[in-house]
Chains A and B, each alone.
Chain A
Amino acid sequence: MQRITIDPITRLEGHGKIEIFLNDEGDVANTYFQIPELRGFERFCVGRPVEEMPVLTGRICGVCPEAHHMAAAKACDAVYHLDPPRPAKLLRELLYSAFYVTDHTTHFYALGGPDFVMGPDAPVAERNILGVIHKVGLEIGGKVIQARRAGHTVIEMIGGRKVHPCTSIPGGLSKGITEEQRVEIEKLGRWAIEFAQFSLKLFGDIVLSNKAYVDLVLGDAYMHRTYSIGTVDANNKVNFYDGLVSVVDPEGKRIGKYAPHEYPDWIAERVEPWTYLKFPYLKKIGWNGFTDGVESGVYSATPLSRLNAADGMATPLAQAEYDKFYNALGGKPVHQRLATHWARLIELLYAAERWVELATDPEITSDNFRAIPTETPTEGVGIVEAPRGTLTHHYWTDERGILTKVNLIVGTTNNYAPISMSIKKAAASFIKKGTIVSEGMLNRVEMAFRAYDPCFGCATHSFPGQMPLQVTVRDARGEVVEVLKQHC
């Protein structure tokens, strides 16, 4: 059995590893995607006061601490049986919308986008944000910095800090915003809408008008017919902050929606001895291995999944793009994983529109941003859509609000099984008997990751855009035949 080790991280960051085994014919027999780290939040948060969770769990991931901050705050609300006043929810969602704009911008321009803007076979040195700027102009680089800055300005105004916000507490927030701040936030939001429209146009010009890219997006190498999940509002429109989690099957049929506290009926996690990360799957369907189809409990939770799991977008401009997306790709659901990049930009536009909606709500500057607990704390679940998937926090406390048990299912973890499958399929599509493993192949395997925008900050902290890959090709006796490296 020939072995190819794709080692993105162990020798660089220690946060991820792929083993590919080839059979005697030289075709892919199996692949293993390993996550090499565990920090143990579910254990060490026990014994801490529950109101600390929005601050403590932000440190699971510094790339998306806002998502943990929100899921934790909502779980805290539930633990105390509190329904925060409307202005509190508006403020939290406003912070969250600004965060989405920042985060999706970073992914499109610095991480996933360069593969498209520069092309999958572009030289390694050019396939990054600088290459993108050189190709599309300095002006765009300035816009990207401005978009990130705009989001962080709002996050700091409402959340108290730029990274790791601190203001969400059980029942609401510790502070509100002034009218002066509101005006500034609205202005930034209007600019963000223009920026999102500009980004969609750029995607159209560069990707959709290029037949080679369209073929790559629509081709079989990045296709997986799994279930999709995503949070929806009362009208079944995509929502990042609140709602029910909609589950649709690979044909696009909704099999149900669950409220946060019902998640244990829907989601189960599988443990494998060869990795520190668990594999979530749909409990009602069951675990049938790393396979596609209706019989397999494997699901995805990504921008693409959210669009598949919803009936549309709640804002007009994003809805128009949603229609365009499904018309272009042959109707719902879409299973081509590379289309996730396009879906992400539609979400970017939605987040910017929502930002302005919230910033112009008459109640947003209200002083009524707190509810004080009156009931004994017990148990609660909080769910938000992290950019990289549905994020679930579940806490149990004693009657003083001290944690006795914690369960977390983080964004990227949802996608561990489909990412593993995508790696296997991409590897199998490009590594065939007789072919020489090339650098272009490495990048195409990388592209299988990038569509998911995996953030192993939550698990391993690798940075997908610069995914360092090393492929060691050994012969049947284990002797190294060839070593190919990229970003490492």
Chain B
Amino acid sequence: MSKPKFAMYWSASCGGCEIAVLNTHEKILDVDANFDVVFWPVAMDAKYKDVQAMEDKSILLTLFNGAIRNDENEHIARLLRRKSQLLVAFGACATEGGIPALANLSDKQSIFDTAFNTISTENPNHILPQTRWTMPEGEITIPEMYPVVKTLEQVVPVDYYMPGCPPESHQIAAVIDLVIQVLQGKAELPPKGAVIGAGASTVCEECQRARNEKKITQFVRIQDIKPDPTLCLLEQGVLCNGPATRGGCGAACPTASMPCVGCYGATDGAMDQGARLLSAVASVIDARDPKQVEQILDGIPDPAGMFYRFGMSGSLLRASKDAWKG
């Protein structure tokens, strides 16, 4: 009997998700033993024409990472959706937009104007890339960049969500194990639409730092203090996204004396990670006078970027007004 088919693909991605999968080391051999890996550019000879030629729904499982940044990303997302039974939005970019989605706070024109007019760029004629260009020998083309970065589910239906930037290798290994058990009839798949490879609660729940009822009177930047290594960072005035971020990473960043930056996205039941974080922040602010509150909040210099660092596309905000205009 032939083995079920597995695929992994990167769209507008940094490649870190693929490296995280490779970092499961010997688990890759389990994938190889249990699946027919039909498409995975990072690890093997991916045959794209074979994917196209495959019957619809003939791939059992596709891990799709990277955001949807241009028309080509969308084209491939649609193709893989058609060919796959289970499509997993893999990593922060595919699930929520990731860091690339911070571009949604700018309009496309200013992104171009900035990139092609930097201090080291010699561009006296203000040339910008064009999707079609006629050279002496003929016309050549490049894909059309979208005005806003989208998540995978904003272009095709998604079956499961696997957050993290990238998802932790031990979480990936656990998901691989689960799917193999399902194939062997020893376990069942979680309900469609579930978040997999992550914790159910928050990063705070996994964090070893001591939490008290202490209130804060100012926010501080990480470079300006030597934080107490045993005490909650938020209590020390460092903006930590832990209270509004899904666990699963073992609180990697706070353990390394850095605030959680929120890469695992919102927790179960939270509609919006940034809003949740805002309420967590509000609850630790020790002030009643509005002026004083404002002063304390001044210590958060970039609320949009800090509350929605990995989740702009999937958030209630989605993008700035200017970005929507294109």
Cα-based distance from A275 to B132 in the complex (angstroms): 10
Question: Which of B14-22, B82-90, B182-190 lies at the binding interface?
Answer: B14-22
A65 and B256 contacting across the interface, CB-CB below 8 Å: no
Contact between A37 and B76 (Cβ–Cβ < 8 Å)? no
- Verify if B53 is at the interface (C-beta below 8 Å from A): no
Residues on A facing B (Cβ under 8 Å): 1, 3, 10-14, 17, 19, 21, 29-30, 32, 34-40, 42-49, 51-52, 55-56, 58-63, 65, 76, 80, 124-125, 128, 130, 145, 148-149, 152, 159-164, 166-167, 169-171, 174-175, 263-264, 267-276, 278, 280, 283, 287, 370, 372-373, 394, 400-402, 405, 407, 409, 455, 457, 461-463, 466, 468, 485, 487-488
Cβ-closest chain A residue relative to B122: A268
User: Which residues of the partner chain A approach B145 to less than 8 Å between Cβ atoms?
Assistant: 37-38, 276
Asked if residues A14 and B137 are in contact (CB atoms below 8 Å), the reply is: no
The 6 A-B residue pairs whose C-beta atoms are closest, nearest first, are A62-B16, A160-B256, A14-B72, A21-B137, A40-B111, A59-B99
Residue B215 is within 8 A (CB to CB) of chain A in the complex: no
A-B contact count (CB 8 A): 271
> Taking the nearest CB of chain A, how far is it from the CB of B141, in angstroms?
8
A466 close to B138 (CB less than 8 A): no
B105 contacts A160, CB within 8 Å? no
**B20 — which chain A residues lie within 8 A by C-beta?**
62, 162-163
Residues of chain B within 8 A (CB-CB) of A128 are: 44-45
**A400 pairs with B10, CB closer than 8 A:** no
A-B contact pairs, 24 of them (CB 8 A): A10-B143, A13-B76, A14-B70, A14-B72, A19-B140, A42-B115, A43-B115, A46-B114, A47-B305, A52-B261, A59-B98, A61-B14, A62-B19, A148-B22, A160-B258, A162-B20, A163-B23, A269-B122, A271-B127, A275-B129, A402-B301, A405-B119, A468-B41, A468-B48
Q: Which residues of B contact A394 (CB under 8 A)?
A: 119
The DSSP consensus for interface residues of chain A is loop
The residue that A42 contacts in the complex, of B118, B252, B253, B256, with Cβ under 8 A, is: B118
Q: How far is the CA of A269 from the CA of B120 in the complex (A)?
A: 6
| A171 near B135: Cβ-Cβ < 8 Å | no
Within the complex, what minimum Cβ distance (angstroms) separates A417 from chain B? 14
Among A3, A65, A267, A273, the residue within 8 A (CB) of B129 is A273
User: Does B217 sit within 8 A of A, measured CB to CB?
Assistant: no
The answer on a CB contact under 8 Å between A269 and B121 is yes
Chain A's nearest CB lies how many Å from the CB of B200? 22
Give Cα A455 to B222, complex, Å.
32
A403 to B, closest residue via Cβ: B302
Contacts of B41 in A (CB 8 A): 12-13, 462-463, 466, 468, 487
Choose one: B118, B226, B253; the contact of A160 (CB below 8 Å).
B253
A272 contacts B16, C-beta separation under 8 Å? no
Whether the Cβ atoms of A1 and B138 lie closer than 8 Å is: yes
Q: Quick one: which of B16, B49, B76 contacts A59, CB cutoff 8 A?
A: B16
Expressed in whole angstroms, the Cα–Cα distance for A56 and B306 within the complex equals 11
Give the docked Cα–Cα distance between A145 and B118 (Å): 41
Is the CB of B257 closer than 8 A to any CB of chain A? yes
Contact A40-B19, Cβ < 8 Å, known A14-B143, A372-B223, A400-B301: no
Q: How far is the CB of B56 from chain A (nearest CB, A)?
A: 19
B163 adjacent to chain A (CB < 8 Å): no
A56 to B142, CA, bound (A): 26
Q: Which residue of A lies closest to B132 (CB)?
A: A274
**Chain B minimum-CB-distance residue to A5:** B140
The B2-25 residues at the A interface (CB cut-off 8 A) are: 9-20, 22-23, 25
Which residues of B are found within 8 Å of A47, using beta-carbon distances?
A: 105, 302, 305
Q: Is the CB of B301 within 8 A of A49?
A: yes
Q: Is residue B313 within 8 Å, beta carbon to beta carbon, of the partner chain?
A: no
Q: Mark each residue of chain B from 107 to 126: 1 if its CB lies under 8 Å from any CB of chain A, else 0.
A: 00011101110111111000
Which residues of the other chain, A, contact B302 by a CB distance below 8 angstroms?
47-49, 402
A125 and B45 contacting across the interface, CB-CB below 8 Å? yes
Chain A residues lying within 8 Å of B34, measured Cβ to Cβ, are: none
Q: Which residues of the partner chain B approach A63 to less than 8 Å between Cβ atoms?
A: 14-16, 19
- Give A467's nearest chain B residue, CB to CB: B41
Cβ of B208 < 8 Å from any Cβ of A? no
Digitize B30-59: 1 where CB-to-A-CB distance is under 8 Å, 0 elsewhere: 000000000001101111110000000000
A394 and B12 alpha carbons, distance in the complex (Å): 24
With A55-B261, A457-B14: A44-B19 Cβ-Cβ less than 8 Å: no
User: Cα distance A278–B122 when bound, in Å?
Assistant: 10
Q: Are A166 and B258 in contact (CB under 8 A)?
A: yes
Report if B211 contacts A (CB, 8 A).
Answer: no
Given contacts A59-B16, A62-B15, A407-B118, contact A487 B138 (CB under 8 A): no
Interface check B69, CB cutoff 8 A: yes
With beta carbons under 8 angstroms apart, the residue of B14, B103, B136, B225 that contacts A44 is B103
Once the chains bind, are B44 and A466 in contact (CB under 8 Å)?
A: yes
Contact bitstring B227-254, A, C-beta under 8 A = 1, else 0: 0000000000000000000000000110
Q: Which residue in chain B gives the minimum CB-CB distance to A170?
A: B223
Query: In the docked arrangement, what's the CA distance between A169 and B20, Å?
Result: 23
Contact of A62 among B128, B143, B166 (CB under 8 A): B166
B224 CB within 8 Å of chain A: yes
Q: Which of B11, B48, B127, B309 contacts A273 (CB 8 A)?
A: B127
A267 to chain B, nearest CB (A): 6
Contact B44 A17 (CB under 8 A): no
Are A488 and B142 in contact, CB atoms less than 8 angstroms apart? no
A-chain residues with CB within 8 Å of residue B102 when the two chains form the complex: 44-45, 48, 56
Query: A51 to B253, alpha carbons, bound, how many Å?
Result: 15
B253 contacts A38, C-beta separation under 8 Å: no
Answer whether A60 and B45 are a contact pair too, CB < 8 Å, given A160-B253, A278-B116: no
Q: How many Å lie between the Cα of A446 and that of B218 in the bound state?
A: 56
Query: Pick the contact of A40 from B48, B103, B309 — CB < 8 Å?
Result: B103
- Contacts A60-B14, A372-B226 given; indicate if A167 touches B258 (C-beta within 8 A): yes
